[in-house]
């Protein structure tokens, strides 16, 4: 089996974070490994507590995984602090033949809880993104990283090109937060290939964990040997299906795998 690694926070509600990533890897036939950056106390209604891991423990997890279960692709999610970002970036900088690195810049939970400290954004941009293969911001994250106001699909294109020029990696701007959208539109740009990915918008659902699942799916397909544009196409189809198959658990919507 191919191996993928997720470096992210734990979601005690099981809908996002490490738990969503590992479910995605397993569904797509990839062996999932994990480095837990934070414990969160959360459920579908919100985050009530965050406890960050010690940076040295983050590094020990990375060393343990790479020594015996070297991944063919990596995704990062909730990194939370400058110290954790720097530890992850330093480890990856010393890694020979770094596999595709998918960076999901998790900043704020769906409920509004902050999952990245404000002073950690610069560390993310200057220390981790130079090593990224793909950056996958949603609309609020893309606005925070670019300073743009993103209101329509053409704005996704502008943001993707700006982020590509600034950081040198491919960019997938996810447009699920666009107001009054009939379709869930995402824009991928890698400097040569541009993809406008569209699927019918599924209304009436609280789609907690979609960003984690989407980026984890990209990582899984990369681990299996797909080129990046194809991995993104397949991941879009996967997350669209997962949203359409959402189920009720104790009165809350969860993605269907």
- Return the residue matching tokens 């090593």: 131
Instruction: Enter the DSSP assignment of 225.
Output: T
* Predicted local confidence at residue 111, as pLDDT: 61
* Predicted local confidence at residue 107, as pLDDT: 85
* Predicted local confidence at residue 116, as pLDDT: 84
C-alpha separations of 128 from 24, 96, 120, 183, 211 in Å: 23, 16, 11, 32, 19
* Predicted local confidence at residue 207, as pLDDT: 72
Tens of pLDDT, residue by residue over 199-231, are 988 777 767 889 999 999 999 999 999 999 999
Tens of pLDDT, residue by residue over 65-80, are 999 999 999 999 999 9
The segments of the chain whose pLDDT lies below 50 read: none
Which residues fall within 8 angstroms of residue 66, CB to CB, at 6 or more apart? 95
HEC-encoded secondary structure of 86-106:
HHHHHHHHCCCCCCCEEECCC
* Predicted local confidence at residue 114, as pLDDT: 72
Whether pTM exceeds 0.85? yes
Phi, psi of 83 (to 5 degrees): -65, -40
By annotation, the residues acting in catalysis are 174, 207, 209-212
* Predicted local confidence at residue 44, as pLDDT: 86
* Predicted local confidence at residue 178, as pLDDT: 77
Q: Domains plus CATH for the chain? A: 3-254 (3.40.1190.20)
Percentage of the chain beyond pLDDT 70 is 96
Report the chain's terminal Cα–Cα distance, integer Å: 19
3-state secondary structure of 143: helix
Closest CA to 216 of 79, 1, 23: 23
* Predicted local confidence at residue 203, as pLDDT: 72
């Amino acid at each position: 089996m191919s191996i993928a690694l997720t470096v992210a926070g734990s979601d005690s509600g099981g809908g996002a974070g490490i738990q969503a990533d590992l479910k995605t890897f397993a569904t797509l036939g990839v062996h999932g490994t994990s480095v837990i950056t934070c414990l969160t106390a959360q459920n579908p209604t919100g985050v009530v507590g965050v406890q960050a891991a010690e940076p040295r423990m983050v590094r020990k997890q990375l060393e343990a995984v790479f020594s015996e279960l070297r991944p063919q692709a990596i995704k990062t999610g909730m990194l939370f602090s400058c110290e954790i970002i720097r530890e992850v970036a330093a480890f990856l900088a010393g890694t020979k033949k770094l596999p595709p690195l998918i960076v999901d810049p998790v900043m704020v939970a769906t409920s509004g809880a902050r999952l990245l400290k404000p002073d950690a954004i610069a560390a993310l941009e200057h220390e981790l993104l130079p090593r990224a293969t793909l950056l996958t911001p949603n609309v609020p994250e893309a606005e925070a990283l670019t300073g743009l106001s993103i209101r329509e699909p053409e704005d996704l294109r502008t943001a993707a090109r700006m982020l590509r020029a600034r950081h040198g990696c491919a960019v997938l701007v996810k447009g699920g937060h666009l107001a009054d959208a009939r379709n869930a539109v995402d824009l991928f740009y890698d400097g040569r290939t541009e993809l406008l990915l569209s699927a019918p918008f599924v209304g009436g659902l609280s789609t907690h964990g979609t960003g984690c699942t989407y980026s984890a799916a990209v990582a899984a397909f990369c681990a299996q040997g797909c080129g990046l544009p194809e991995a993104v196409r397949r991941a879009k189809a996967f997350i669209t299906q997962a949203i359409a198959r959402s189920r009720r658990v104790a009165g809350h919507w969860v993605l269907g795998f």
